[in-house]
Amino acid sequence: MNPGPLAGRVALVAGGTGAIGRHVATGLAAAGAAVAVHCHRSAGLAAEIVRECGGGLAVCAALPGERAAERLFATVEAELGPVTILVNAAEPGGALGVAAVADVEAGTLERHLDGVRAHHDLCRRALPGMRAAGFGRIVFVSGALMARPMPGMGAYAAAKAAASALTRYVAAEEGGHGITANVVAPGRVAEPDAPEPDDPALLEMSRALRQRMALPRFPTAQEVARTVVALTFPEFDQVTGQTVWLTGGEFTS
């Protein structure tokens, strides 16, 4: 048994097959947690990440939806035990495109808002078990766009802001049960050797962000994940209702 700080804890990583979610899952496992890696469709990739974790559970669920969330948690609880750590690193459906508010199609906005609904469904299902355990850690991976508008990102930013606000309400309401809830908000996330985006609008956004940053580069997915994992440790019980900005020193609020 791993004697790490999360030994005996069960963690569910929603969006666990994404770049950040993958590193969160392996980081939680390294700290001793039994990890369930959630995916929307990529069951094979989720199973691969579970192997990287040295065990755990791969589970697919098409969120949002209360019934889907119920099936997801019931499966994890039956295999691993009660979930006391919930990390939501899922991204809104569809490609991250640049479009002015006047040009955003209704379907696009709905896909982004599905992320808010899914976060609500996950928190609502996780909280009773966390209350019963007297311990809970919820971390939502948001984005700095919710605080510093960049033209063309309104739908994405609005959804991230809504789910972030929901997380802070959970912190205010559940602290008496030993539950913390925090937001981690990176700016752009990039791997060191990744090419620049092909979209000219995204390329210009990246250039504008660099000019506003104190540090010389964007954080990697692994660096974001380290912050997320740290916030789940028992000793961080006085950190709740906070937004941790991983923006390289960029002014965000």
Q: Which of 42, 142, 164, 253 is catalytic?
A: 142
- Mean pLDDT over each residue of the chain, to the nearest integer: 90
pLDDT band, very low/low/confident/very high, at 251 (cuts 50, 70, 90): low
Q: Is 237 left (phi over 0), alpha (psi -120 to 50) or beta?
A: alpha
Catalytic-residue membership of 156? yes
DSSP 168: H
Euclidean distance between CA atoms 218 and 216, whole angstroms: 7
Give the active site residue among 156, 169, 206, 253: 156
Averaged pLDDT, 210-239: 92
Give the start-to-end residue ranges of the domains of the chain. Answer: 10-244
Q: Which residue has the higher pLDDT, 253 or 239?
A: 239
Q: Answer yes or no: is pLDDT of 91 > 60.
A: yes
Per residue in 4-28, pLDDT (tens digit) is 999 999 999 999 999 999 999 999 9
Encoded tokens for 80? 């691993």
The 10s digit of each residue's pLDDT in 187-212 is: 888 776 656 667 777 677 777 777 88
- Closest of 180, 175, 171, 157 to residue 230, by C-alpha: 180
- Topology of the domain covering 10-244: Rossmann fold (3.40.50)
pLDDT digits (tens, 9 = 90+) for 39-87: 988 999 999 999 999 999 999 999 999 999 999 999 999 999 999 999 9
User: Parallel, antiparallel, or unpaired: how do β-strands 179-186 and 136-141 relate?
Assistant: parallel
Provide the token pair at 7: 């030994």
253 a catalytic residue: no
Is the confidence at residue 228, as pLDDT, over 90?
Answer: yes
pTM of the predicted protein model: 0.91
Is 206 a known active-site residue?
no
| Per-residue pLDDT, 214 | 83
